[in-house]
């Protein structure tokens, strides 16, 4: 089976605590591209130890950043890895063992093993996480959405091994992330004409808490599962409030993301 080279693409911003371990986990790749959103910490210095293909580009959205970077890859097959993710040896071996030169698959879904505060989360909705990250360079593009955009390819398969994900380093970082993502999600929903912000505000938080803690068996993840459910419910409430704020600003003839 002929070796098919793989390019790894890593987007980042101020990830000095993560980028080294991430890059180390993909050192087996034939090419590594890092696209940085003008970090102010040591991210660039660390990235430069692993690759000379480091780009700096103003951040518009995750999809925009990756859709610009992917065509810069030298090889036909691309693996996208976020800075807070790691590719374990088992997944790297599975990828290298694929017959990419002869199969008819255009991309692969990969399980994501999510960890929170030192423990793997098996339920709470995090345990069924899959992402499409390995694909043909000329076919894989992210959806034009600010939040939860996914790559699309004509024909996709699935890998057995998982990518490791460490999304929440601290409670402070979690709150910052919720603030950022709820702004983007509120904008997406308002732009699509979603009229139910007030109903969302009262109904979605308790429904989300029940869904994550009971229906998704978050209770079996212990206090971490309850925390995930509570933070998800909090995010739903904040997103709904931002939707209402955006609508008021629209009615007044203007919108400011900075005010959200």
Which of 115, 133, 167 is the last residue in one of the domains?
Answer: 167
Rounded to two decimals, what is the model's pTM? 0.90
Look at residue 247 and tell me whether its pLDDT is greater than 80: yes
Beta-carbon contacts of residue 156 (< 8 Å; ≥ 6 apart): 105, 106, 107, 108, 109, 132, 135
Q: Whole domain around residue 203: which residue ranges?
A: 171-259
Q: Same structural domain for residues 223 and 128?
A: no
CATH classification of the domain holding 23: 3.90.550.10
Q: In the numeric block, which tokens belong to residue 248?
A: 């008021």
Which of 167, 198, 214 is the last residue in one of the domains?
Answer: 167
Could you give the residue ranges of the DSSP H alpha helices within 6-147? Answer: 19-25, 43-47, 62-69, 89-96
Q: Is residue 1 situated within a structural domain? A: no
Q: Same structural domain for residues 184 and 61?
A: no
Q: Same structural domain for residues 142 and 235?
A: no
Q: Same structural domain for residues 161 and 222?
A: no
Task: Look at the chain and report how many structural domains it folds into.
Answer: 2
* CA-closest candidate to residue 6, choices 82, 85, 67, 70: 70
Strand partners, 152: 141
Average per-residue pLDDT in the chain?
A: 93
Q: Same structural domain for residues 162 and 66?
A: yes
pLDDT digits (tens, 9 = 90+) for 90-149: 999 999 999 999 999 999 999 999 999 999 999 999 998 999 999 999 999 998 877 778
CA distances from 207 to 104, 149, 168, 215, 233 (A): 41, 23, 23, 10, 8
pLDDT digits (tens, 9 = 90+) for 62-105: 899 999 999 999 999 999 999 999 999 999 999 999 999 999 99
Q: Same structural domain for residues 155 and 180?
A: no
């Amino acid at each position: 089976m002929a070796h098919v080279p793989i390019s790894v693409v890593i987007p980042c911003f101020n990830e000095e605590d993560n980028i080294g371990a991430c890059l180390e986990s993909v050192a087996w790749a034939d090419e590594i591209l890092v696209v940085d959103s003008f970090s102010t910490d040591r991210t660039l210095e660390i990235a430069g130890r692993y690759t000379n293909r480091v780009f700096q580009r103003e951040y518009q959205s995750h999809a925009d950043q990756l859709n610009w970077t992917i065509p810069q890859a030298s090889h036909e097959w691309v693996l996208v890895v976020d800075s807070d993710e790691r590719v374990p040896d088992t997944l790297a071996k599975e990828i290298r063992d694929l017959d990419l030169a002869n199969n008819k698959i255009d991309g692969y879904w990969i399980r994501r093993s999510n960890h929170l505060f030192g423990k793997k989360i098996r339920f709470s909705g995090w345990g069924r996480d899959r992402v499409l990250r390995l694909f043909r360079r000329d076919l894989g593009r992210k959806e034009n959405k600010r939040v939860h955009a996914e790559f699309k390819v004509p024909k996709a398969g699935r890998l057995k091994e998982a990518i490791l994900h460490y999304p929440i380093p601290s409670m402070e970082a979690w709150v910052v992330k919720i603030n950022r993502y709820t702004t983007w999600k509120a904008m997406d929903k308002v732009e699509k004409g979603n009229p139910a912000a007030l109903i969302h505000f009262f109904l979605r938080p308790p429904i989300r808490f029940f869904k994550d803690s009971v229906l998704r068996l978050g209770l079996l993840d212990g206090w971490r599962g309850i925390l995930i459910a509570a933070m998800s419910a909090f995010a739903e409430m904040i997103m709904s409030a931002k939707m209402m704020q955006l609508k008021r600003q629209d009615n007044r003839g203007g919108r400011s993301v900075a005010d959200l």
